[in-house]
Structure 1
């Protein structure tokens, strides 16, 4: 018997055996799913609590600019400086940390009582593949909305809030893609977009991607303000497949095996193939009817470790804090093991000192 025949026999009997294939498949599944097992999350969270100390910064930021750094000690990354951003307004609090990611790609923006019109804008943007898209959208989208709103106040436009938000999201996405094509190398970054506009007694929310908003109504119940755009959802999957694309599972379902959200702004390679769209979903709420206590807008670094109901309950007990519970919520998500950037914004609707909604409708 030759060496080749011996090796061939060994491979057939052992390497290509049914038992070996089952073992390999089991190891593959275990490797991919162990981060989502509750016991694993608990053990990782406990370890992080012992290893991590986050010290707050006292600076403020009007529209999501970097104000300082914090040091974290983490078993995943080496000790390094991490970005920490915050905003402490009279009826809105924001806190954001880079967390365990090598770069901070979250951005946010707040415009309170635009030019004394009683209109406020709250934006949350979670970048991926780089910071450029989130930075560009945060600045350009909010600025363009401010211009449209002031034109409406002066009688130059009569668009509804939903139409206005949709038009501006798509226009800013067009501008972003145009810039991306003109850069060398080609800019491939993208971002989610979650914008909440309070105008008179109406709250209008435009969502593209998987950042998420919730509201706490007068009874203390959670009401979702947006629904995530995920590749495995039937409507999204069919649209992607009809465009010639595919989705695959790699820890989570991804468009083309790459992106974990099925809608986003930017992302030139996927957008050019029509696998991805920027069209926002629009939801409208009557604030007089809801009489809400507060609103939470956050990137998915929070929602990976908090359910909607858990987040509302958590903040309900911490509204008296300087950030209206936003900072505590961010740190708790970090302690639970979140691997992403985490940004949380809390808007206190019952703060009569500055809430334009309360001033104008009560």
Structure 2
């Protein structure tokens, strides 16, 4: 769906520090940004804008159009907060093309360089693999999944080469959770521990599983087994006692530099030379192979929440969906609801960067749903009448018995 009418933005990324004005008009399909001397902040780092325009946090209303790209009428809210962390290593990307929208959350670690590469390149790899997006219009999910797996692998290979060429000893990495939204379906491709949740008639559907080398759930057990079969080990829930994510882009020391990682561990006294000599690697310990899912979007699909673990480690999916629903029923502003959700995570003492994207799928008339307070009042009033009826019935029965 073309979010911005015929003049598409190539990409827009949240930065709450910016004061530039962005306007969207659902009637005319207009979208404007002052472009003179635009300086943008990505993850706390400044970049000069050239061809691609970036805008601060706003809610985007899809323009009215009869074209396929505008069918769904998705409205976006997005925000990214540094929180308690010393560095901002998250980033958000939302892009549009003919027939679909793309949104991604990148959660970086050990530096920002991997995120910097991915925010520019992963979308390109995905679109090429999806044959310009045409595969999304078909019914062959197997072909879609294979294409996205190839895109992720290509992006990771290019990233590793780019990191080694430009930064030498760079050990940065990044998770990535991306969604493609078309008029009647959602495609998710996911590595790491960000999560996608769908609200379906107010019920939360968790659509992704975190890739972590600890825990007793099916996904974690599979990850632990894969790492051990590749010659690695888990110490305190971390691969080689180092990283608590089992699938990510970058992280060169667990891929093409595993032997160097072993020797560095010996030099730093993390393990002995004898221990290192016994290790035989049979594959990468951290991989960029995504889990890919297809989800049908019927009339009961309300909105999608895509967020980094800075939200989900402090708020469960049901609470998040209920929170967003309540806000949308109160004011209908997707962007404001997104910012309020991030603030709620901070109130719960989130210690991580927090990045959130909310896509209101345009299938729900929020004004027709009474706000929570009104619903509670109606419920309590009904309960009061029910109680009054029971009491009255009891009095009548007592009076009848006494008259016998």
Is TM-score (shorter-chain normalized) higher than 0.5?
A: yes
Q: Indicate how the Cα distance of structure 1 residues 207 and 102 shifts in structure 2: closer, same or farther if over 3 A, else same.
A: same
**Kept in 1: contact 2:153–2:288 (CA 8 A):** yes
Aligned to 2:287: 277
**Kept in 2: contact 1:297–1:344 (CA 8 A):** yes
Offset of residue 321 of structure 1: 2.7
SS at match of 2:57: strand
**Kept in 1: contact 2:301–2:363 (CA 8 A):** no
Aligned to 1:236: 223
Q: Distance in 2 between matches of 1:304 and 1:236?
A: 20
Q: Distance in 2 between matches of 1:238 and 1:351?
A: 42
Q: Distance in 1 between matches of 2:303 and 2:132?
A: 29
Aligned to 1:110: 94
Q: 1:49-72: per-residue Cα shift (whole Å, max 9, x none)?
A: xxxxxxxxxxx99522545179xx
Aligned to 2:171: 188
SS at match of 2:180: strand
Q: Indicate how the Cα distance of structure 1 residues 332 and 154 shifts in structure 2: closer, same or farther if over 3 A, else same.
A: closer
Aligned to 1:343: 355
Offset of residue 283 of structure 1: 1.1
Q: CA RMSD in A?
A: 2.8
| Runs of 5+ unmatched residues, structure 2 | 1-8, 20-42, 46-55, 62-74, 215-219, 259-283, 366-404
| Runs of 5+ unmatched residues, structure 1 | 1-59, 71-81, 354-362
**Kept in 1: contact 2:14–2:80 (CA 8 A):** no
SS at match of 2:169: coil
Match for residue 181 of structure 2 among 190, 195, 198? 198
Aligned to 1:68: 17
Match for residue 212 of structure 1 among 191, 195, 198? 195
Q: Distance in 2 between matches of 1:167 and 1:307?
A: 32
**Kept in 2: contact 1:98–1:341 (CA 8 A):** yes
**Kept in 2: contact 1:208–1:278 (CA 8 A):** yes
Deviation larger for 271-280 or 291-300: 271-280
Q: 1:76-132: per-residue Cα shift (whole Å, max 9, x none)?
A: xxxxxx9596343220000111111111111111123x1xx2211111110001111
**Kept in 2: contact 1:69–1:83 (CA 8 A):** no
**Number of residue equivalences:** 274
TM-score by length of 1: 0.69
SS at match of 2:222: helix
TM-score by length of 2: 0.63
Offset of residue 312 of structure 1: 0.8
Match for residue 319 of structure 2 among 310, 316, 319? 310
Greater Rg by CA: 2
